[in-house]
Structure formats: structure tokens, C-alpha cells
Amino acid sequence: MWDNIPWPEDHIYLRNFREREHEELRRLLYPKGSGAQPRTIVLHGPAGVGKTTLAMKVVLHWAEGLLFQHSFEYVFYISCHHIRDMEDTTLVGLLSRDWADSQIPIQHAMTHPERLLFVIDGFEEMTLPSEVDHRPPCTNWDQRLPAASILLHLLKKELLPTATLLVTTRDCLSEDLKQLLLHPWCLQIPGFTEGDQKEYFFRYFRDRNEANKVTQWVRKNEALSHACSAPLVCWTVCSCLKRQMPRRPSFWLNAQTTTSLYAYFFSSVFETAEVSWSKQCWSEQWQALCSLAAHGMWSSNFTFSKEDVGHRRLRAPLIRCLLRLNILRKVSDCEDCLTFTHQSFQVFLGAMFYVLRGKDGAVGGLSKHQEMRVVLDDALVDANSYWHQTALFTFGLLNQDLARQVEDALHCQMSPRIMDELLQWAEELSVSDMVPYSFELPPFFQCLYETQEETFVKQVLSHLLEADLEVGDLQLQATSFCLRHCQRLSKLRLSVSCLLPQTELTSRRDTSG
């Protein structure tokens, strides 16, 4: 599995310091030095920051005799997206899937369950059985059950209560996990720090000046700054900017939003698509691909089977092209399965689905317009990170220049009514009971900033009469942009907490003098 991870050719993966990594991995299972070993450890963090990579390295380095040889006699890797599609089985059957000769010395293994480590990867892809709390406990590892139920009993410590669990997930605080895990020890995987990002940009461009410019630009953009904790987002940024440099030697960073960066990335890579189709055929295929992405987000599905792809009528030439361009990749431990190289690609295409011409929703039952309203409502009151990103990209694609660029490059058609539909949604939102209690303005301002459409922003904010804002340095740019267009704002409480560079403070004092 490790050897088959397909990285883009010019991607620089910085976390290759084995000694430092081993120390990190040891701290996972023995965080207090000589203290007691936690029995349930949860690695959590946004998509792409390295949770699965770290989990796989635990298994790999244990197998190579480099880690935990005296702690665990057996280590099992369980992929949650596999569990979704498995038939009824036993714990023995579940564990023997990847065993070399399909014969686990199970009696020996179960004699000392405290020497077993289960690495359970990608909990967010699990579809939990209904009525989790009301199911009878299961202590028999030879009982035949749905695979998801077996994993549930393992997580609840009903099966092998003294075994150690290492779980990876995007949200450690999800209700599903809370009701399952017994005394979990949560550890956030931060991914690339600002220093890592700077080093990445320097190694990619081999120019300190350019690396500093890109780092400062990313630092000012809240959405992009968070996203760049994922190494592959750094690769996307660098790849896109490198393609732009021959056309825009001055880097042209200030005018770029997160949406424009992704739009340019997709537009530029498809200049070499090598697929000769009519405009109509391209339009249909983009609808199909974006529908697959959106449907996956609704169902928390980030791994797509051959049947999923076939159901959306995606053609083989486009799939091969997306694989070659590093937008899709094959899943190393799942035959015929595909996933987006990074979740942000899926989110961008999911957002594109809602701005493309067409009426049918991605899930079925609701129209595209109704689905979009649900997404936007949830995005601005919920902590779900990919709904936030979906809303951000949806608004960003309203920019008329950007929309024309995407239409021309990708041979697709944007909905002519999308801006009116969003204005109607914003107007209804302004009189909704939801706004005073759970609606937060800073994320909404970030969405409006992405449009860079001043007339539209003025119309949306014409209903805003008062605001209570607490703004950090990453939100300053978007907040400043939106406040300039609040024409009817009469009452404002503004709290700003940010660090201004010394040079900026000096220049301001000089100017005022």
C-alpha cells in the first residue's frame, strides 16, 4: 500500500525525517513517558494533513522492526471505506482479509489482547448501523455480523477491551465518535506549519524572494492559509502559480482569491487534456463529474467504486485524463476504486455542480437550487469544514470574469440565474430566525469577498443594519472589503485582534505625521 501511493511528479513531501517521525509515533502511544499507555488514540485533523500517512507508517515501521516490537505482537490495519462494502463476517474474517495465507494464529493472538494494535483509518467514511446505543453488546469474536457492526463493537471496547485502538478521523468531536469511544486520547495532526509551507514554496520555486511573496499572500487569506496545512494544497498553489508566471511575471497575487486559484488550476491543466469531444459532450461529462463530487459530500463518501463512476456515466477517456492530471488517483487498497487527490478538488467540483446549468440535484428528490440552499444554510451555522469550503467556492464562482474563464476552458455552461438565486436566499436569510442565534458574519464575509463583485455584495449586505464582529488577522481583508459595502449599517461593534508588522506600524506613523 505504501509503495503504491501516487504522488504528483513535482510534489515535494517534506515529512521524511525518520528519526523525528519515530519520536512522534512513540509519543502517540506513550505520551507521558513512563505513564500508562492510552488504549484508544484518535488522530484528527483536516483532509490531507497526513493522518492516513502517519497511520500507515505505524504499520509499516512495526512490520520493518523499527517501532513497537516489544509493545505489540500483532498490528492490524482496517480501512473504513472497505468496511462499507463488506458482507457479513466475523472478527476473524475481517482481520484475515489482508493476512498473507488467510490463516491468522487467532487463538494465540487472542490469548494476549493487550498486545494487539488496531489501526482504524478514515472513521468519517463509516456508515454506522442505526440505533448504536440500543444494540446488545458483543463479546464473541467468532460471531457473524455485518462488518460495520463488528467495527462498532471493537470501537466500544466490547470486543477485546484491552487491545489498543489508533483511529484516524477528520473530526474528533463528532457525535458518532463520542457515543462510541471509551476515554479516547485525542491528538490533532496539524499538517504543514507556516514554516513548512515556506520551506515547501522555497524548494518548489528555488527562489527565496518568490517563496516569501507566496507565503505572505497565503498568510493573508484565511481559507487558503488553513488549507495549506495539507501538503497537496501547497502543491496545487505552486503548480497553479508556476503555470501563471510566464503570462504574469509579476506574480499578480493580490487579485487572486482561493476560488480563482482553483479555477485557474483546473482550466490550465485541461489545456493538455488530449480528449477530443464536442462542447456538448464535455458539458455532459462535467455535469457528471461535478454531480459525483457533490453526491459524495452529501453522503460523506470520498472513495468511489466502479459502480459509483458508472452510475454517473463518466467516460473512460475522462477518467484516464483526470488520473494523468493528478485530479483523481487510484486507491491503493481498493481495486477499481478512485478518490480525488485532495478533498478540496472534490469540494471545488461539488460547488461547481451548483453553479452549472441544470435543474436536477445530486442526491435526488430536491432540485439543484433547493440543495444549494441547504448547503449554504448548513455551511454558515455548522462546523462542517467541507460545507464551508463549498459555500466559499460557490460564491467565488459568481465572479463573472472567472465564470467566463471556466466556461471557455472547460467547455461547460454556468447557470444564468445563479446570482439571482443567491440574492433571493440572502434576502430570505435576513428575515430568518436563524440569523441572530447561530449565524456568524466572518465566514459569510469571506464568501462575499470571494466574489469580488461589488454590486452583488452591496445588494446582499443592504439588509445588514447592525453587526457584532470579532475579527482575527486572517479575517481582516474580507471584513474590510465587506464593511465598505454595508450602505445601511447603523450599529457596529468591532473587535480586532491581529499582529501588524513593525514596518507597517512605522509607515502609518510617518504618514499621519
Q: What is the pLDDT of residues 259-307, one digit of tens each?
A: 998 998 998 888 777 777 888 898 899 999 999 999 999 988 888 988 9
Summarize pLDDT for 467-506 with one digit per residue, the tens. 888 888 778 888 989 999 998 888 988 888 865 544 443 4
For residue 397, which of 378, 381, 413 has the smallest C-alpha distance? 413
Contact 122, 80 (CB under 8 A): yes
Return the C-alpha torsion angle 293, 299, 305, 309, nearest 10. -40
pLDDT at 504: 41
pLDDT at 365: 79
Range with lowest mean pLDDT among 46-60, 244-258, 376-390, 452-466: 244-258
pLDDT at 502: 44
| Domains (range + CATH), the chain | 19-188 (3.40.50.300), 194-254 (no CATH), 279-496 (no CATH)
Q: Which residue do the cell numbers 513497537 mark?
A: 68
Single pTM value for the model? 0.83
> Rounded CA gap, 16 and 37, in Å?
26
Angle of CA points 295, 299, 303, to nearest 5°: 80
Grid cell listed for 22:
519515530
User: How remote is the C-alpha of 460 from its chain's centroid?
Assistant: 28
Which residues make beta-bridge pairs with 328?
340
pLDDT at 166: 94
Residue 113 has pLDDT above 70, yes or no: yes
Summarize pLDDT for 39-72 with one digit per residue, the tens. 899 999 888 888 888 888 888 889 888 888 888 9
Phi (first) and psi of residue 120, to 5 degrees:
-110, 110
Q: Which residue do the cell numbers 506613523 mark?
A: 509
User: How remote is the C-alpha of 245 from its chain's centroid?
Assistant: 27
> Rounded CA gap, 481 and 457, in Å?
9
Helix (H) or strand (E) holding 492: strand 491-497
Side chain identity at residue 77, one-letter code: Y
Grid cell listed for 190:
496539524
- The pLDDT > 70 percentage for the chain reads 84
Q: Strand, coil or helix: what is 376?
A: helix
End-to-end CA distance of the chain: 64
Residue 75 has pLDDT above 70, yes or no: yes
